[in-house]
Structure 1
Amino acid sequence: MIRLHEIKLPIDHPEDALRPAILARLGIPSDELLDFQVFKRSPDARKKSAILLSYSVDVTLADEAGVLKRFEGKSHIGPTPDMAYRFVTRAPEGLQERPVIIGFGPCGILAALVLAQMGFRPIVLERGKAVRERTQDTWGLWRKQKLNPESNVQFGEGGAGTFSDGKLYSQIKDPRYLTRKVLEEFVKAGAPEEILWINRPHIGTFRLVGMVERMRAEIIELGGEIRFESRVEDIHLEQGQVTGVTVNGEFIASRHVVLAVGHSARDTFRMVHERGIYVEAKPFAVGFRIEHPQSLIDECRYGPFAGHPILGAADYKLVHHAANGRAVYSFCMCPGGTVVAATSEEGRVVTNGMSQYSRNERNANAGLVVNINPEDFPGYPENPLAGIDFQRHWESRAFELGGRNYFAPAQRVGDFLARRPSTGLGSVQPSYKPGVTPTDLSSALPDYVIEAMREAIPAMARQIRGYDLPDAVLTGVETRTSSPIRIRRGADYQSVNTRGLYPGGEGAGYAGGIMSAAVDGIEIAEALALDMLGEQA
């Protein structure tokens, strides 16, 4: 097959318009085009008065060699790459050792799934509950202000990505097309098939729940084991080699352990550090969630095509470099979504964003965050876990400002820019549950963060008209943008000073989002499997 890129058609083109466009691009008669299928479709909204759809298609031709020769050197036409996934090895019958996977978020799920598909019968240990029970506990905080520290937005089957926008795209380099493997597994588990070809695909929370359950069922069917409410209390080492873990008082022997605990497993990070496993502080970002009417974002991004069913709810990505040297940027933008309570510790408030597949809620929300570095953490460099203490300090402050009842502190953008407290809210009603407390956010984060954000919002309004809408709402605080630590590993995916330990995903500092974490899980599974059999990649 041959892949053609950038075939552009009007957004409302007829269904049968793609075939003649392919023929025109290639300059061939109709009978030479045997078949075609869409590989990717994305909107081109650079001209709002004439939004186009840009297609990449795979075509089967009567004379593919001749066409390739004729278009040799053209960047938009070439052979279709081989995207098929091939397992690196298979477990021999009678293999006794079983790998252990700590955590069942995107990284842990894909690591367990691929290991199970290769016959290695992994044991998965997840501190939280199965996804439906976990959902009930999460709603307990949102509706009743009752937090379960072991079952919430951060902990439980599916990981933090379950209560997010379900974004399935990433900027990682992917020469082996492992993202395709992830998407195909998701479709097999019940995701809509369109995620294979639409630009910037997403799923949403409700669909993720059923998908996670089906992937769990496949792992078990292939010989894997998944234990919920199983918090790992200790990792056992002998002369720099993992020998097993203790969970709920039980020792499980294994010389191959995947650590995929997510970015909020603070007690696990401390245990890992205390065992002498190499941990270092890393940068992350903090800020607030900002909410606008989704209609405002749609109109700015799509003009007269706002609300078009093919385009859906518009998103955005913004960045501003402030005068104080800080970068301010939008993070985890959720079109047509809600701001959610995402704390995993009592007496603290944390925000995140979530959307359903439909993305049809009234508001758009995004993290508006500022980069911070380890040098900003009190106690660094002596304490590599100082970023955790930094996060906790500001999460506790948000709890105080919100009224000590898991309400979040909030402020109108107009008041925030004018440096005055908010005493009420305007036309934009915040979506955060259980509720918000209008206040002054100037003491909710460090001064350098607040000043950078006050500079950034008007600057961003020059890119999205109305971004500085006085009634837009800021809700605090967003502190879990990424892990505050990195568990450094080598090229073999093992900890640099602990053989048999495979740190992975967001918690270990090697991913940022569902897709990159899932791909990391696949690569870890492959490296682990080869090491178990004494093979080389």
Structure 2
Amino acid sequence: MLRITELKLPLNHPEDAIRPAILTRLGITEEDLITYQIFRRAHDARKRNDIHLIYTLDIETKHENDILSRFKTDPKISLTPDTTYRFVTQAPQNLPTRPVIIGMGPCGLFAGLILAQMGFRPIILERGKEVRERTKDTFGLWRKRIFNPESNVQFGEGGAGTFSDGKLYTQIKDPNHYGRKVLTEFVKAGAPPEILYVSKPHIGTYRLVTMVEQMRATIESLGGEIRFQSRVDRIEIEKGEVQGVTLTNGNSISSNHVVLAVGHSARDTFKMLYDLGVYLEAKPFSVGFRIEHPQSLIDTCRYGSNASNPILGAADYKLVHHCKNGRSVYSFCMCPGGTVVAATSEAEHVVTNGMSQYSRNERNANSGIVVGITPEDYPGHPLAGIDFQRRLEAHAYVLGGKSYAAPGQLVGDFLANVPSTAFGKVLPSYLPDVHLCNLDSALPDYAIAAIREAIPAFDKLIPGFAMPDAVLTGVETRTSSPVRIKRNAHFQSINTQGLYPAGEGAGYAGGILSAAVDGIKVAEAVALDMTGGNK
């Protein structure tokens, strides 16, 4: 097949406009075109009142070689790449041990799925509960202020990504098209087929719950085993080689291949690894606040007269500002038509995050507004970043009134450095509550100064961004893992053979899609090592 990229059509073009556009672009007749399919659809909103759709199309014609010859210097017309996923190996019969996966977020889920599809019958250990029970516990904090340290936004089947916008796009390089495998498996599990072609696919929490359950059933049908409420307290290591794991209940599982896919909030696991001598190091991450605006304001600023067009949906944004003090402030995990959620994994701490449902039809837009920090800001041992996060989260708990309410402040008051006393036009979505105060002490001075400089700069790009009634809630601290567990070319820990650090918690991903892709890569490495392929 042939691929055409950057085929531009008006936003509201008729459904039957694509086929004639292909004929015109290639200079062929109706009889020459056999079929076509949409591989990607994006939009160009640089002129908000003159928005165009940009298509990537895969077509089948009767005269492929002739077309390639005529357009051999045109980079926008080429052969369609083969995105078919092929397993690197298959498990032999009677393997002496089974691979163990710690964690069932996107990374662990896909590592388990790929290993199961290759016949390795993985054992997946998840410290939290299955996804529907976990959802009840999460709502318990949001609605009743009842916190469960082992079942919350961070811990449980599906990982932190389950309570998010469900974004399925990434900027990682993906020459082997692993991302296509991820999207295809999601569709099999019940995701809307449009995620295969829209440029910024998302799913939303409620759909993710059902999909995770379906993928669990697939893994189990292929011989995989999933154990919930099974926290790993120790990885057994002898002479630099993994021997297995020991659970909180005292049970042990022998394995020479352990995938560590614990997510960015498994602080007790990081401490256990550090104490065992597994090599890890501090890495940069970011801290800040969540900001909420009326979604209608963002839609109008981004799409003008095309706001509310169903093809465009709720508008998003991506912002960055380089500050005078050398810091960079940027928008993080922007959730159109979403809500701000309580995302702590430790008692008497407050952490914020954002999520959306598939419809993205809540009244507010929210995004993290965060400041990049580095290990130089929290010098010391490799776990110093965790201590840094904890101090901010514990202080946020105090600022919020010691009740899991989030401390909040109106943007106008934040810029003027005066406490807020009443909400205006924007009502916050965070549950269980937002306690108005002055956020001046919620972050380090350099971060507060940077955000105060950035918000007016963002207002020049999105008029109304600095509206006085917009609401800030704190604190956003779990933007990425504060540690990196270094690994070698075969995806194993650089000083612990058989331990495979993976995904966001190990410092190798950021978001659902990149974490899932990393899970596939690590699963392949495990499979090859178990069959003698990694020699």
The TM tier, using the shorter chain, reads over 0.9
8 Å contact from structure 2 (residues 286, 477) kept in 1: yes
8 Å contact from structure 2 (residues 295, 336) kept in 1: yes
The one-letter amino acid paired with 1:12 is: N
Deviations 1:430-480 (A, max 9, x none): 000000001000000100000000000000111101100000000000000
1:510 aligned residue (501, 508, 511) = 508
SS at match of 2:259: strand
Which position in structure 2 is the counterpart of 1:87? Answer: 87
What CA distance in whole angstroms lies between the structure 1 residues aligned with 2:49 and 2:434? 39
The answer to whether the aligner puts 1:372 opposite 2:370 as a matched pair is no
Which position in structure 1 is the counterpart of 2:445? Answer: 447
Which position in structure 2 is the counterpart of 1:321? Answer: 322
What CA distance in whole angstroms lies between the structure 1 residues aligned with 2:176 and 2:434? 46
Which position in structure 2 is the counterpart of 1:185? Answer: 185
The answer to whether the aligner puts 1:115 opposite 2:105 as a matched pair is no
Which position in structure 2 is the counterpart of 1:522? Answer: 520
What CA distance in whole angstroms lies between the structure 1 residues aligned with 2:141 and 2:49? 45
Which position in structure 1 is the counterpart of 2:350? Answer: 349
SS at match of 2:385: helix
2:481 aligned residue (480, 483, 507) = 483
Q: More deviation in 245-254 or 330-339?
A: 245-254
2:466 aligned residue (465, 468, 473) = 468
Deviations 1:486-520 (A, max 9, x none): 00001110000000000000100000000000000
Which position in structure 2 is the counterpart of 1:155? Answer: 155
The one-letter amino acid paired with 1:244 is: G
Deviation at 1:7, TM superposition (A): 1.0
The one-letter amino acid paired with 2:387 is: D
Q: More deviation in 41-50 or 160-169?
A: 41-50
The one-letter amino acid paired with 2:415 is: L
The answer to whether the aligner puts 1:394 opposite 2:392 as a matched pair is yes
Deviation at 1:75, TM superposition (A): 1.0
Deviation at 1:232, TM superposition (A): 0.1
SS at match of 1:461: helix
Deviations 1:35-55 (A, max 9, x none): 100001011111112111111
What CA distance in whole angstroms lies between the structure 2 residues aligned with 1:44 and 1:390? 41
What CA distance in whole angstroms lies between the structure 1 residues aligned with 2:231 and 2:438? 38
The one-letter amino acid paired with 2:60 is: T
What CA distance in whole angstroms lies between the structure 1 residues aligned with 2:394 and 2:256? 39
SS at match of 1:482: coil
8 Å contact from structure 2 (residues 419, 438) kept in 1: yes
Deviations 1:317-363 (A, max 9, x none): 00000000000000000000000000010010000000000000000
Deviation at 1:25, TM superposition (A): 0.3
SS at match of 1:173: coil
Which position in structure 1 is the counterpart of 2:50? Answer: 50
**Correspondences of 1:55-454 after superposition (within 5 Å):** 55-247=55-247, 248-377=249-378, 380-381=379-380, 383-454=381-452
What CA distance in whole angstroms lies between the structure 2 residues aligned with 1:358 and 1:511? 26
Deviation at 1:536, TM superposition (A): 3.4
8 Å contact from structure 2 (residues 285, 482) kept in 1: yes
The one-letter amino acid paired with 2:101 is: I
Deviations 1:65-123 (A, max 9, x none): 11001100211100000000000000011112100000000000000000000000000
What CA distance in whole angstroms lies between the structure 2 residues aligned with 1:489 and 1:199? 32
Deviation at 1:406, TM superposition (A): 0.2
The one-letter amino acid paired with 1:531 is: D
The one-letter amino acid paired with 1:518 is: A
Deviations 1:509-537 (A, max 9, x none): 00000000000000000001000111138
8 Å contact from structure 2 (residues 128, 156) kept in 1: yes
Deviations 1:408-428 (A, max 9, x none): 000000000011110111100
Which position in structure 2 is the counterpart of 1:498? Answer: 496
- The runs of at least 4 aligned residues of structure 1 exceeding 4 Å deviation read none
The one-letter amino acid paired with 2:224 is: G
What CA distance in whole angstroms lies between the structure 1 residues aligned with 2:141 and 2:489? 41
Deviation at 1:17, TM superposition (A): 0.3
What CA distance in whole angstroms lies between the structure 2 residues aligned with 1:385 and 1:150? 21
The one-letter amino acid paired with 1:219 is: I
8 Å contact from structure 2 (residues 290, 367) kept in 1: yes
Deviation at 1:6, TM superposition (A): 1.1
What CA distance in whole angstroms lies between the structure 2 residues aligned with 1:198 and 1:48? 19
What CA distance in whole angstroms lies between the structure 2 residues aligned with 1:396 and 1:412? 21
What CA distance in whole angstroms lies between the structure 2 residues aligned with 1:214 and 1:366? 30
SS at match of 2:461: coil
The one-letter amino acid paired with 1:445 is: L
Aligned length in residues: 534
What CA distance in whole angstroms lies between the structure 2 residues aligned with 1:395 and 1:331? 18
Q: More deviation in 257-266 or 90-99?
A: 90-99
Deviations 1:155-174 (A, max 9, x none): 00000000000000000000
**TM-score normalised according to structure 1 size:** 0.99
The one-letter amino acid paired with 1:366 is: S
SS at match of 2:460: coil
What CA distance in whole angstroms lies between the structure 2 residues aligned with 1:429 and 1:354? 16
The one-letter amino acid paired with 1:390 is: F
The one-letter amino acid paired with 1:243 is: Q
What CA distance in whole angstroms lies between the structure 2 residues aligned with 1:353 and 1:339? 4
8 Å contact from structure 2 (residues 291, 368) kept in 1: yes
The one-letter amino acid paired with 2:286 is: A
The one-letter amino acid paired with 1:115 is: L
8 Å contact from structure 2 (residues 490, 534) kept in 1: no
Structure 1: stretches of 5+ with no match in the other structure: none
**TM-score normalised according to structure 2 size:** 0.99
SS at match of 1:183: helix
RMSD: 0.6
What CA distance in whole angstroms lies between the structure 2 residues aligned with 1:84 and 1:310? 28
What CA distance in whole angstroms lies between the structure 1 residues aligned with 2:50 and 2:332? 28
What CA distance in whole angstroms lies between the structure 2 residues aligned with 1:386 and 1:147? 25
The one-letter amino acid paired with 1:498 is: T
